[in-house]
Structure 1
Amino acid sequence: MKKILRLVVIWLISQMAATAYAVECASDSMTFVDVLSSQFNVPANSQEGTVLWQEQWPSVRFTCTNAKISEEISFWVNPDRLVLGAGVEPAIIFNGRTYTAISGNVGTGVFIKPGETRTFTLSYTVAIIRKGVVPPSGVTAVSSYPMFQMDGAGGLNYQRGLNFRHVVTGGTFHYAVGGCKLQTGSATKAVSLPATPMINTVGGTAGATDFSIRATCDNLANKVSFQFSGPTDPADARQFRNTAPQGAQNIAINLVAPYNGITIPAQGGAAAIREASVSAGTATLNLRASYIRTASPATAGPVSAQAEVTVTYN
């Protein structure tokens, strides 16, 4: 009886191997190694999904063949289901969406049939994002980590050397509880603009006044992002509305960072972010506020506006 069972087990295994899916997908090389050459910080209070590192690949050529069934060519993120490190996980960004291992196969829109050879070009971004609990301290080193395997939707081909893999190596992730906070005098800051004559034209400015805000950071922060928002002017939503009682009509406050001179929109969002590097534990952002005429007619009077700032860092 034992011999019969052994034969049955062997026969089942051989049958499974014969019916396994085995799409083969190659690029210029079967493995591309992306070398990370720097230190990446993982603040404990950073939001899940925050991109800690990413690199875009705008045009990668693939050739797939040897399909056993009709199926869609797919990305398989983290094909070996390995842990990259505490508080981080691999991802790809494809067609504007972010995918991780839990996404399963990520379809490329390219389909292959038995007997076909398909050659196509894809654009994608590999990324490492925040995920889960971040330890209060420590370092994770990245070594030959497979970000994804190009394969068929039916399942992974585990025979190595037949399917393209994008691998990252080098670099370290450093964990820290600390972060950045606005300095005293920056957390609540009053900026006084001078009295000026009436601005004659819509879009004209006057009374430009320079000032700065500063954030104090721990030793792991490299860069601070300041995101602004506030009440918007009804005639020009980019400008900060005059909220002074019995204030000047159709006069608002325009805010810019002198290093690029582009208006910081009061609506907030990505366009309202300005960045500053951390040096000796401090990030300084220089700003300039001006009166701006947003419509006609304009009247004289007091002007007061409020801007809120949100600080993030990496």
Structure 2
Amino acid sequence: MNASKHMNSRIAVLLIACLTFLSGCESLVNDLDQDKLPKTESRLAVECYISPQSPRLEAVITQSQPLFGPATYNPEFVKNAQVFLSDGQNRVQLMFQDSAFNYMADTTAFRIVAGKTYTLTVDDGKRFVKATCTVPVKSPVIKSFTVEKIYSGFGTDSLASIKLSWEDIKGESNYYDIRGYSVLEQTTLRFDNETNDAVPFRSINKLQLYFGEKNIYNDINLDGITFNIPESKIYLQPNTEFTYQDKDGVKKSFYTNPKISEVRLEVLHIDENYYKFYRSLANTDFQDNPFVEPTLIYSNIEGGLGCFGAFNSSGKTANPDF
């Protein structure tokens, strides 16, 4: 009996201590008045990359969202800005395209030249930003490019193995990016509105290639070496028979005949702005680690955010047809 009373008194003391601690913690949390919060204004965010090989000049203009207050993950496009690109002697205006939500101009009227320095200006009537970049002089030299059919290791499944290497430009600091795509074809079934019937259809899909975690390269302490991208693999779907009934109930069939009709890879010799911007973006991938401190995103936009960069590219195309 005495032991029970002693235990109950200990529990009561423990509960009082916990309540006191929690009430103390609650007193540490206070709501700040809006007047005491830092004043932040929305800024223009610009992303534009120019190249002698690009058929169009394109720029995406958005605005940053407030640090405090309601926000959304959807970009806020700026549609009424005056966007100009200049080489110091001539300039061209990029016009907003509703279909693509970007600003665009054709390069036939304003050619991008390797080695030249360009200035981009953006003015929406309230804010003005500008940036400069210089197009790399040399394009990369691709050393090897192969697309081969290999066994996947499971049943009769096969893969397309894609490999690429290029030589570093000697005697200077260089930065590179890799991009590419594959074109996959196969016969599928679709509904034809004109005949009001299901018919076989040859579909063509263009898919971006994935090269692992590393797409950006530099030649620090690696001057003149041969770079090799991580091997990229594409699953080759088996050729299967598909059976269906048409609108009259007639049983029909066809084979899917899947194949890769095209593979395109490009090596981009990028400027330092391009490299630093994408490198800083990669550094923000914390893999959901709560103990990693936030990092700043690189920007060369004076008065704003984002990147104005340039590249000079080389590419190779293969038509494996398997």
- TM-score, normalised with respect to structure 1: 0.40
Higher helix share: 2
